[in-house]
Amino acid sequence: MEYRPASLSNLAQRALELSVLNLPGAGISFHSGRELQYRFAIAPSACSRLYECLLRIKPDARSPEMFILSPDLKALAGEQRIPHIYPHDGTGTKLCLWWPKQRNWKPQMKLVETYIPWTAEWLWYFEDWLGTGVWSGGGEHPDIRKRLRKSKPLPLV
């Protein structure tokens, strides 16, 4: 039997995968056939606020991008520097959900089993960090001052 690596999902398959989630405010939009955006709201616990999120997906093997649109995480953090985020020009806060060097995420993985629960987990640790000042979520984050990469601004949908 010949080995065949798992194929990459196209945007329509990603949209179908995400459409089964029953999340508040969930909506899927396509942009010029080159990007899928999944907008949804999630609360990391029963006692948490609701966060409006945006997942941007390209049809190739590039990593999806997760943004928290509201509430404004930087305003919630006040003077504190939020751990595990990426700089970008545009709306929202871009989350660092996994370490690319370790390849914790691969394009063949399902978003409903990775990015969505990882976002809820990140938000849980963020809320804990707001209260304690200690990031308990683990992980490593590269020094953004050394490698300042900017993302394209988010188009409003």
> Is 47 exposed, middle or buried, given 0-12, 13-18 or 19+ CB atoms closer than 10 A?
exposed
For domain 11-132, give its CATH number from 3.10.110, 1.10.3470, 3.30.70, 2.30.320: 3.10.110
Residue numbers of the chain with a pLDDT score lower than 70? 1-8, 61, 102, 141-157
pLDDT for the residue 129: 96
User: Please, are residues 107 and 9 in contact by the beta-carbon 8 Å criterion?
Assistant: yes
The residue type found at 134 is: V
| Kind plus residue range of the DSSP H or E element containing 121 | helix 115-132
Structure confidence at residue 1 (pLDDT): 59
Is there a contact between 93 and 68 (Cβ–Cβ < 8 Å)? yes
Q: Where are the domains of the chain?
A: 11-132
pLDDT value of position 145: 53
Structure confidence at residue 6 (pLDDT): 58
The two structure tokens encoding residue 38: 């999944």
What's residue 152's pLDDT? 54
Residue 67's SS3 state is strand
